Amino acid sequence: MVSLIPLLTLALSVSGLAIRQPDSQAELAPRSGPKVLQLDLNIDKSKPSGKRDGSAPKVLQLDFNVDRSSRKRDATAEIDDNRDVRYFMDMYFGSNKQKVQVEIDTGSSDLWVHDEIYGPSYEGYFKQSESDTFNYINEKFEIHYFDGSACYGQFGTDNVALEDGTVVKDFQFAVVNKATDRGTPAIFGISRKVQENAKHQYDNFPYALVTQGIIDKPAYSIYMSKEGGDKGSVLFGGIDKKKYEGSLVSFPISDDYFCDITLESLDVDGKEYSLSKSAMLDTGTSWNFFPDEIVDDISDRLGAKINDDGDRVIDCNQPTDKYITFNFGTQEIQLTYADFVVRPFKNGCLAGISYWNPKNGIILGDVFLRRTYTVYDFESDTISIAQAVDTDESDIVQIP
C-alpha cells in the first residue's frame, strides 16, 4: 500500500476516496409510503426523526447528522481537530440491532464496520457473535484510501436496520478487524458496483434497494448544508425540487471506475482557466483539489498565508460578492470567496483548497457540494447538477 497524497494537508482532508483495487439479496420489511430514501443532515446530535415524505411514490426517507469535528481518520489531528465535516447516520446490525455510526461516502462502494476486537468507531461496533443472523462469506475485505490508511477484514451478511424502521435482510457488508489508523470511522460507501472491493460484485446499498423494490433505479440525490448550516438530505430514488434553482443538467460519468464528470473551465473572478479535466464529486473529501496554478491564484485572492504545516490560513470574513465559477459546459455552479472558508483556525480560518496532481484530475469535495444539488444515477451512468438553494421547503419527487 502506497499513500498517493504526500502533502500533510491532503492527508487531513481527503478521507472517503478509495484507491482502485483491481482484484478486489436482500429483503425489506413490508411498509407503506413512498420509495425514496431521505437522509437529512442535522448539525446537532439529536436522534433522527425518520419521517417519510408521502407525496411521491417509491421514495424512502431517513435522517442523518452533520459532525463538524475532525474526522478521526486524520493521522495528524494534533494540529487542530476542527477542520473537517463528516456526514453520518446510525445503522443497526444483526438480530439484536447493534447500533453503529457510519460515515456516508460517495467515493467508495462498500459498507464496513468495526468488530469487537478492533473496537468502536465514533459510536458503536458490531459484535457478530451476538447476532443470530450473521454469516461470514468466504471472501476477504481490503480497502486503501488516498490518505494512506487501509482497512482489512472479511465480508459477511446480516440484517441491517435503518432509523425509520426499514430492515434490509441478508445485506452484504464487511467486518473490519485491522486498520492502519485505529481512528478510521465506519464507512457507508454508496458509489457504483465497479468500485466494490470484492472479487465478486454484489448488490451494495443503492442496488439492494432496487432489488428489494424500495426504489426503481440505483440513483440518489444529495443536498448539503452551507458551512455552519444544520440541514441537508440524501434521497435514494428521489429529488427535492425545492433545493435547487434552474434546471438539473445531466453529464455522462467520464471514468470507468470513479464517479467523475468533465470540468471544462474555471473562472476565478474574471480569470478563466481552461481545463477539460475529470472532476470527482465526493462527499468523503472535505476540500477542493486543483492543479498548483489554480490553488495559488485562489489562495492569493483569499489573502492566504501558509503556515509551517502547509495550511492556508485566511481571514474568516471573505467577500460574498466575488465569485469562482465552475463551468461544466452546459451548466455553471458559482461559489463565493466566503464559501471557501472551512473552519476557524489559529489566527484566522482555513481555506478549503489544496494541491492535486493534474494527471489525477480534480476532486470537488464538501466545499463545492454545499453549493451544488447533485444527482447520481447509476442506471444511466450520469451525474446531474444544479445550483443549490438554502431553504427549508421541500417538494420530493421520484427520479424519472
Catalytic residue, chosen from 40, 158, 282, 311, is 282
The 8-class DSSP code of residue 163 comes to: T
Query: Quick check: helix, strand or coil at residue 127?
Result: coil
Residues, the chain: 400
How far apart, in whole angstroms, are the C-alpha atoms of residue 3 and residue 6? 7
Query: Quick check: helix, strand or coil at residue 368?
Result: helix
Separation of CA 141 from chain center: 20
Cα-Cα-Cα-Cα dihedral of 142, 168, 182, 361, to 10°? 60
H helix runs in 107-214, sequence order: 205-211
Which of these, 171, 249, 251, 239, lies nearest to 208 by C-alpha position? 171
H helix runs in the chain, sequence order: 8-13, 205-211, 292-301, 366-369
105 catalytically annotated: yes
Catalytic residue, chosen from 105, 110, 260, 311, is 105
How far apart, in whole angstroms, are the C-alpha atoms of residue 72 and residue 345? 18
75 Cβ neighbours under 8 A, 6+ residues apart = 11, 147, 148, 149, 181
From the CB of residue 245, how many other CB atoms can be counted at a distance below 10 Å?
11
292 catalytically annotated: no
Largest CA distance in the chain: 62
* Residue 308 buriedness (CB in 10 A; 0-12 / 13-18 / 19+): exposed
Do 240 and 223 form a contact (C-beta atoms < 8 A)? yes
Could you list the active site residues?
105, 282
